[in-house]
């Protein structure tokens, strides 16, 4: 429960940049053209989408994410407009 409170606090802290607060995820599947397999190894446990001027700003915002203080990590990607 404490983790959920920390995530809520962080979401409020970055609210000007937060586009989608995300959601926890469950077990996933790796899909190819000829198979479907359980994901093994690295697993995404949550996501959020933030708005930033560039990748460096997104990294800076992400550095205060609660999972980083619990031994977790974050990956930051730029979404391309299509």
Residues 51-70: pLDDT tens digits?
999 999 999 999 988 888 87
State yes or no: pLDDT of 78 exceeds 70.
yes
Q: Which residue has the higher pLDDT, 76 or 41?
A: 76
Asked if residue 51 is part of any domain, the answer here is: yes
Asked if residue 77 is part of any domain, the answer here is: no
Asked if residue 81 is part of any domain, the answer here is: no
- The pLDDT value recorded for residue 60 is 94
Domain count for the chain: 1
- What is the 3-state composition of the chain as percent helix, strand, coil, each rounded to the nearest 5? 30, 20, 50
Quote the radius of gyration of the chain (alpha carbons, Å): 15
What's the domain range around 20? Answer: 2-70
State yes or no: pLDDT of 30 exceeds 90.
no
Q: What is the mean pLDDT of residues 11-24?
A: 87
- The pLDDT value recorded for residue 1 is 56
Burial status of residue 61 (CB atoms within 10 A of its CB: 0-12, 13-18, 19 or more): buried
Asked if residue 66 is part of any domain, the answer here is: yes
């Amino acid at each position: 429960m404490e983790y959920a409170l920390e995530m809520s606090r962080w979401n409020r802290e970055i609210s000007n940049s937060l586009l989608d607060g995300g959601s926890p995820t469950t077990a996933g599947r790796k899909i190819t053209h000829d198979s479907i397999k359980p994901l093994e190894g690295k697993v995404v446990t949550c996501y959020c989408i933030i708005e930033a001027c560039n990748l460096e700003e997104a990294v800076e915002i992400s550095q205060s994410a609660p999972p980083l203080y619990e031994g977790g990590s974050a990956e930051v990607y730029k979404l391309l407009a299509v």
